C-alpha cells in the first residue's frame, strides 16, 4: 500500500469515529401484564407513563393514537428544537412511540428533523423508558436494534 492510500484510509477511520450517532424516529415497547395490574386499558397505561415522565398527553389525530403536547429541548439562537410524540398500540401486544422533532426558526418557519441524534434521543427518552416500564410497557428497541441483536 502506498502512503497516500494509508493516509486516506486513516482519515476515513478517524472521521467515521467522530460522526454523530443517528437513530430512527420511533421506539417499540412490548405490553406485559403486571402482577398487581388491575387496569388493562393500554391507553390508560400509556397516559400514566407519559404523565410520570413529564409529557402531557393530548388526543391524537385518530382515535387509535395518543399524542403529546410539544416540548422544547434546545435553543440555538437562530432556531429551537421542539419535539412531540405519538403513541400507537399495535394489536394489543406492542406499542410504537413515534418521535417528531422539528427545528423552529426565529422567522416562525418549521422544518422536520429526519433523524434523532444520540443526545436528543437521550433528552427526549430520559424518563420515558422507566415510567413506561412501571406501567408494564417493556422497551424492546427499534427494528434495527432487534435485527442487530439477532445477527450476533
* In the chain, domain spans: 20-151
Which pLDDT value is given to residue 111?
A: 95
Are the C-beta atoms of 88 and 100 separated by less than 8 Å? no
Are the C-beta atoms of 97 and 24 separated by less than 8 Å? no
Which pLDDT value is given to residue 149?
A: 55
The DSSP output letter for 54 is: T
Kindly state the helix (H) or strand (E) to which residue 90 belongs, with its residue range. Answer: strand 79-90
Distance CA 75, CA 85 (A): 19
SS3 143: helix
SS3 126: coil
Give me the CATH code for the 20-151 domain, please. 3.30.530
pLDDT by 10s per residue, the chain, length 152: 677 766 666 665 555 555 556 778 899 999 987 655 555 688 999 999 999 999 999 988 899 999 999 999 888 889 999 999 999 998 878 999 999 999 999 999 999 999 888 888 888 888 899 999 999 999 998 776 666 555 55
Distance CA 27, CA 142 (A): 5
The DSSP output letter for 97 is: E
Which pLDDT value is given to residue 99?
A: 94
Amino acid at each position: 500500500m502506498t502512503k497516500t492510500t494509508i493516509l486516506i484510509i486513516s482519515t476515513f477511520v478517524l472521521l467515521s469515529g467522530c460522526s454523530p450517532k443517528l437513530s430512527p424516529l420511533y421506539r417499540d415497547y412490548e405490553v406485559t401484564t403486571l402482577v398487581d395490574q388491575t387496569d388493562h386499558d393500554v391507553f390508560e397505561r400509556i397516559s400514566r407513563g407519559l404523565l410520570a415522565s413529564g409529557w402531557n398527553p393530548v388526543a391524537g389525530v385518530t382515535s387509535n393514537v395518543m399524542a403529546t403536547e410539544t416540548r422544547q429541548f434546545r435553543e440555538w439562537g437562530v432556531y429551537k428544537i421542539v419535539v412531540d410524540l405519538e403513541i400507537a398500540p399495535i394489536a394489543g401486544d406492542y406499542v410504537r412511540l413515534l418521535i417528531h422533532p422539528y427545528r423552529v426558526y426565529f422567522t416562525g418557519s418549521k422544518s422536520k428533523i429526519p433523524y434523532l441524534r444520540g443526545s436528543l434521543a437521550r433528552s427526549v427518552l430520559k424518563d420515558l423508558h422507566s415510567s413506561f416500564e412501571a406501567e408494564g410497557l417493556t422497551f424492546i428497541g427499534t427494528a434495527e436494534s432487534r435485527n442487530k441483536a439477532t445477527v450476533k
